[in-house]
Amino acid sequence: MATNQTAVEAGLPRETNVGSKRFADFDLLGKTYVVTGGARGLGLALAEALVEAGGRGRFLDAETTMRWMLTQLPVYCLDRAEEPDEEWGEAQDRVIPEWGGSLVYHQVDVQDTNYLEEVIDKIARERNRLDGVIAAAGVQQETPAAEYTADDANEMLKVNYTGVLMTASISARKMMEYKCQGSICFIASMSGSIANKGLISPVYNSSKAAVIQLARNLAMEWTPIKDDGTGGIRVNCISPGHIVTPMVTERMKEDPEVEKIWCRENMMGRLAQTSEFKGAALFLLSNASSFMTGGNIVIDGGHTAW
């Protein structure tokens, strides 16, 4: 069937050429990404999604093999653990070379701004580019507001807010240096938009609200393209609902009633799996979302809709 005939039958204008490759805007081949909080849980799942979108097919002759190697998609997972846990190793084993990507681990605490910048700078220099960042590093603490200490509050904000800001700022500078019109994605939370019943975490919740607002402000600064060619950097958020992660699993072991409370608070009656956020991350980190900046995608099973 001719291409134009296919376009007409699909209801597209007759002159439209849909080409042989569909959904090409989701293809990340040859691009470079950094994911903080990428050792496990949601950050790791999103890093794996980027790798899955990084390649097409196997090349057999020397010339095309070399071209394929140069367009590999490395996804750099940064986390404060000295070594990633078994979950990360399992994800690495699932990476198929023909996808054209790989997972690479670096031990970095986002609170150590100087070392964070050193690592991201090295990644950008090695690849001569930086196309996108997912800031997923975060910590949680359930403490009633009246019992919070200043030290505990400051410690959480150093990771959940300042760590996100510094990750974004360092990455944006690299994108500007290499003239990459990249994409930055913050992992916020539905708890940044609502008082989350059953989750007594006033500092965590407000830190996520701050991250959502931060994305809007950074989008205002960095998205417009300047005369020198810098800019064009999109900044958005994903706000998940309750997810089954290692941290949440431990919490449910301590108090089995928590799972029941959280499940009945959303329309689907269950917790999310980390894999259910991969599509949103791929959308935001790819050209498919080229007209989206300053936004916040809420994926919460309908929790905030009623």
Active site residue ranges: 204, 208
Bin 37: left if φ > 0, else alpha if -120 < ψ < 50, else beta.
left
Three-state DSSP class for residue 196 = coil
Q: Which residue has the tokens 């070379």?
A: 97
d(CA 142, CA 146): 12
* Surface-to-core class of residue 301, CB atoms within 10 Å of its CB (0-12 exposed, 13-18 middle, 19+ buried): buried
Using the Cα atoms of residue 271, residue 274, residue 276 and residue 282 in order, give the sign of their dihedral: positive
CB atoms within 10 A of CB 294: 16
Q: Are 252 and 188 in contact (CB under 8 A)?
A: no
